[in-house]
Structure 1
């Protein structure tokens, strides 16, 4: 597929696609993600250029599956991926979180960045900002999961090539400016109701909530989707809050001057994660960094634990048992600014 030659008028092109066109060093990485991908309905190129995020997420998943040794059968019109590995078939449906009608699209981030710069001057401000990001992300992830869950029950579950195979929902985060700051806070809240996870006197400590209130009308939405059998038809959920354009820039071979990567990683030797600010030439990130797989302990058809086994992938078996490597990438933002002493971030690319 030729994704990069515009097929619609310029005023219809998505902001992120126009930015992609200007970042020619990322094109080689993107083209590697496209290898083997089939445009089954002949609409993908136009959708990629006009709506972008959901298509970008599918291409990332295509690259991930290839990296992990899956072969993909594109002969079926849906769901998105019929992936095979070790003589096992996995049905995968991709979905992205999007901004609510009353919310701000993820690419309109200048005001959010300016506010973050102010809030981040104090610990209380950082915590308040993080809580707001996680709150909206939680609501939008729940919304996306519900829609695809209903779609599976009403349509996909009746398809012969789906029956008897584990069904996996792959959720990509794009619901707000600075969505990447949620790290794993929102998805852990959605699946397990976890609102706090820390060590107290060397022992893991958790706090839980049973529901959240929808921001625009106060409606209560249940949490802890993987704490009982209500979603037993979903075998697992794949999630990443950082499979964005920043991933392309991290993987490109040409390292840019004036570009810095701020990362927050898991530290196996401390109760706190590690925050680093590195120049592009010194920064390292893999395709799979930041990717999570949450197995549903109540799944009717469990997903084989070994199919997505890789050191870079965070694998969660249930709410208090998981496998995470030292240095797992929770969060990453890209700062395109030659003057790091400036409080205001002056580019739309920051964090994307």
Structure 2
């Protein structure tokens, strides 16, 4: 038998494989130091420092009956990091040497298989077909398979919808699930509505996912040669009325559900998480329309004689389009005091999953990804974002939180605490102005160009 090699494991790859098994409680009492695996990734190893006792812990992970990486062997109270490392490496060699590839946990929870078709090919969503079949999306498919092994399908129809008409909504839901896990929040998946009940520091938050969906007369097309880009004048026009109405419709519909009256939601913050999938690349430019609609103001800027940026907030009363009229300022409408905040991201897409998969080392070396976009300029006198561009590699460090924003309701009955969501941007309405706190790198939008090299 060949000698079993133990290799260092990139933490990004460990997270892609096993982060869903990590208990949020671990962050209270430990610090992760190093990751290891055999060359076939049958067993993963983790070395921790116990921050309470200041000693070390070794943990081994293997796939259970449902193909999930879960801890199956733990050694605590080890005096030195070197000894913990030796225990982990020795354990990997021993278990792999036994020829085992499955490490049963006894709960027999089955993996949710997203990619075996349950929908006829003619009814499959185009993006599902591309994701499941094209080599360029292998990194995303691999990541999604790992995530779905842990996902709890409360409604029982996730797979059918993901493969057909509900692809965008279900992808957004899976993205949110993954972000909330990354934020190390505790999940309660006992209820089918709202979509998520999360908790930390004794605080509970209910989160309901919603999207701006496509109209039947604007289907996804396989024959669009290039992305659909709008010039600034078109975007400005759409921001005035069309997009606030598009955001307002699903947010109003969710308001009518009155989730705040449910026993498991009462007395806790309620958050709606919305994404825009109404057209190709629409989420690249639509976020400002959401901000304007939520707070009922738009901002204009100019520079004073000293070159300092001066921002003015102008009140918006209503939005009108094709005979339809809605009041602006969602957070100031009846019953919205029961909604604590709105979450939005322009990044909850296949491209996000593909980039995360690529930086974790999934997919062939012949798949090249180039990411181009705009991010926030923290210069207080900057009126425009900066451009960025990079090739996605295993050196990249994108997180699931990157690009997410939470817009806080100034009239909320139960405000949501920022400390539960420390990795994202937060926006508040103060004295007629929107005041934002953003991470060091906060992308507003990006495009990922996938290239497949051929011999």
Q: TM-score per shorter chain, which class?
A: 0.7 to 0.9
Structure possessing the higher radius of gyration over alpha carbons: 2
8 Å CA contact retained: 1:109, 1:177: no
Cα deviations across residues 94-143 of structure 1 (Å, max 9, x unaligned)?
Answer: 111112455x2456682773x63xx6xxxxxx212322554543221111
- How far did 1:147 drift? 0.3
Cα deviations across residues 67-96 of structure 1 (Å, max 9, x unaligned)?
Answer: 111111111222211111112211111111
Q: TM-score, normalised by structure 1?
A: 0.83
Distance verdict in 2 for CA 1:199–1:248, change over 3 Å: farther
1:248 aligns with 2:353: yes
Cα deviations across residues 306-327 of structure 1 (Å, max 9, x unaligned)?
Answer: 11122xx110122421201343
Count, aligned residues = 322
Correspondent of 1:239 among 319, 325, 344? 344
Correspondent of 1:329 among 415, 440, 443? 443
- Matched with 2:391 is 279
Q: Which runs of 5+ in 2 are unaligned?
A: 1-111
- Matched with 1:144 is 250
8 Å CA contact retained: 1:266, 1:328: yes
Distance 2:146 2:450 in 1: 24
1:97 aligns with 2:212: yes
Other structure's SS at 2:179 match: helix
- Matched with 1:350 is none
8 Å CA contact retained: 2:355, 2:369: no
Distance verdict in 2 for CA 1:35–1:141, change over 3 Å: farther
Distance 2:221 2:331 in 1: 31
- Mean alpha-carbon deviation: is it higher for 291-300 or for 249-258? 249-258
Looking at both structures, which has the greater relative contact order when contacts are Cα pairs under 8 Å and sequence separation is at least 6?
1
- Matched with 1:204 is 311
Query: RMSD over aligned Cα, in angstroms?
Result: 2.5
8 Å CA contact retained: 1:260, 1:335: yes
8 Å CA contact retained: 1:212, 1:221: yes
- How far did 1:251 drift? 1.0
- Matched with 2:295 is 192
Correspondent of 2:260 among 157, 160, 167? 157
- How far did 1:264 drift? 0.6
Correspondent of 2:152 among 21, 38, 52? 38
- Mean alpha-carbon deviation: is it higher for 229-238 or for 58-67? 229-238
Correspondent of 2:121 among 10, 20, 33? 10
1:304 aligns with 2:304: no
8 Å CA contact retained: 1:100, 1:140: no
Cα deviations across residues 26-83 of structure 1 (Å, max 9, x unaligned)?
Answer: 1232234435421122211111111211111111111111111111111122221111
Q: TM-score, normalised by structure 2?
A: 0.65
Q: Which runs of 5+ in 1 are unaligned?
A: 120-125, 339-352
